[in-house]
Amino acid sequence: MRLVVLILSACWFGSLNLARCDSPARPNILLAIADDWSYGHASAYGCPWVQTPSFDRVAREGLLFQNAYTPNAKCAPSRAIILTGRYSWQLEQAGNHMCYFPAKFGGYVERLAADGYFAGFTGKGWGPGIANDADGNRRAITGKAYSKKKAKPPTSKISNNDYAANFEAFLKDVPDGTPWVFWYGTTEPHRAYEYGSGVRMGKKTSDIDHVPGYWPDNETVRNDMLDYAVEVEHYDQHLGRILDALQAAGQSDNTLIVATSDHGMPFPRAKGQAYDESNHIPMAIRWPAGIKSPGRVVDDFVDFAGLAPTFLKAAGITKPGPIMQPTSGRDLFDVFGADGPITDRDHVLVGKERHDIGRPNRGGYPIRGIRKGDLLYLHNYATDRWPGGNPETGYLNCDGGATKTEVLQMRRGGVATTFWKLCFGKRPAEELYNVAEDPDCINNLATSPALASQLAELRQQMEVELKSQGDPRMFGNGDIFDRYEYTSPATAGFYERYMSGEKLPAGWVNPGDFEPEPLD
């Protein structure tokens, strides 16, 4: 194994432009991705109320990222970015949620499979939406499904998928001497939750060291946070079993492992928006054969568009086509071999288009933004729209749960309406936050004369980079994202059908989330 490590180091660190190393040890690639897990909520980050020994192990034996971001804080577009190495505004329909994934945008799993990798997944892969090839056949966009193994879950709302056992079944199917790529995707900590499960399983509401300032700090919200923590820990427990299975199979040293989440937690003002809580995600990467000086904490800014080119490069693939389009993200090999901070990794771009429906004419809520250094700049392009979806149709771009209900009921009772305004109210065209001083992004500094020049510089840099990436919104054609077809006939045209009196399924929110009349 020492010889293999030396060969890999000579190939990858000696010449990062090398097309392929002739070493027989092409690495296995494991993506371990939770569903709706926010940055900071891991014991490796010092969180006292979420215990993640397996994630911590990956970080301890590899790299712990302090500034990893998804460019788009919703399941389908975030996962499409990971797969393709392209930003969501470069993915046409796949930049939306509940979309048709264009066949021309292949993903890294399909590309690796074409190059001899054995590919599989368990749990949640890409979605929700429809991904077919050019002939209309379902794509194996994350490989072959492994889902037969089941186990009794610790709460009534956690999946019975025995993720780790299904990974072990996958390992048994891998032909000898064949590299593999696997997508371990939990449905946790996506809602719904069993209310009170956190306390039932031994946690204390007093363990929580910080309740974001845009939610009320009370027992209801703290219980909701602990229930979320239980589901994060479920992801981590299966990750630990997967790490043990790799060790037992003798494949730990030559497996590149990325442990992360698709976006922030499913609470108001987090998932589905563009604040730091929305896009900032936990990430740790372990790769003994490819990472220099493991155990480092990385402060450089990185984003999900860099994962696919990293995986392809690790496998020795320099041409993503014809399966994939050219990638836009920057691979992580400079981070893997760094001795210190990388000066030009100082920012990331974020944004969104249409997520969940619930606005007139199936409109989205378009945002673009840039996080650079301590500052987060956001531009809201349709300030007449409701960011979380229209109130009379249930604020559909915010999952139902105890915290959402608490915020809505407070407004209805005339108590603490500030929480509702922060979570659901309409927004100005520009927002600017000093994330270092205001991590909850509550104090909008966009009108501060002292920061006017910095805001203008951020806006200009964001627009220049987006134009170079071909973002339709930078060329006056952003409305194309609203015109793309929505894939669920049951809820298509939701706003118009609901307002005409039709009862429609909206199981991801609570019945009480619907306001009795418009709030405009």
Which residue type, as a one-letter code, is found at position 220? T
Averaged pLDDT, 92-115: 98
Whether 437 shows a pLDDT value over 70: the answer reads yes
Q: Specify the pTM.
A: 0.95
Q: Which is it for strands 28-34 and 180-185: parallel, antiparallel or unpaired? A: parallel
> In angstroms, what CA-CA distances link 457 with 60, 140, 452, 454, 460?
37, 43, 9, 5, 5
Pick from 127, 129, 161: which is nearest to 146 by CA?
Answer: 161
Residue among 385, 395, 318, 314 nearest 29 (CA) = 314
Band of residue 25 on the pLDDT scale cut at 50, 70, 90: confident
The letter for the amino acid at 339 is: D
**For the chain, percent of residues with pLDDT exceeding 70:** 95
Is there a contact between 272 and 355 (Cβ–Cβ < 8 Å)?
Answer: yes
pLDDT band at residue 416, thresholds of 50, 70 and 90? confident
Report the C-alpha gap between 236 and 57 in whole angstroms: 10
The rounded mean pLDDT for the chain is 95
Residue 427 has pLDDT above 70, yes or no: yes
Task: Read off the pLDDT of residues 48-73 as tens digits, 9 standing for 90 and up.
Answer: 999 999 999 999 999 999 999 999 99
Instruction: Please state, in angstroms and rounded to a whole number, the distance separating the CA atoms of residues 350 and 368.
Output: 6
pLDDT score of 109? 98
Q: Tokens 């379902």, residue?
A: 138
Q: Give, rounded to a whole angstrom, the gap between the first and last alpha carbons of the chain.
A: 66
Cα distance between residue 243 and residue 253, in whole Å: 11
Closest alpha carbon to 41 in 290, 194, 371, 267: 267
Strand-pair category, 347-352 with 296-303: unpaired
Q: Residue 212: is its pLDDT beyond 80?
A: yes
Lowest model confidence (mean pLDDT) among 1-15, 181-195, 372-386? 1-15
C-alpha dihedral sign at 504, 508, 514, 518: negative
How does pLDDT run across 274-305, given as a tens digit for each residue? 999 999 999 999 999 999 999 999 999 999 99
Taking the CA atoms of residue 264, residue 266, residue 272 and residue 273 in that order, the dihedral angle to the nearest 10 degrees is: -70
Helix or strand run (H / E) with residue 412: helix 402-412
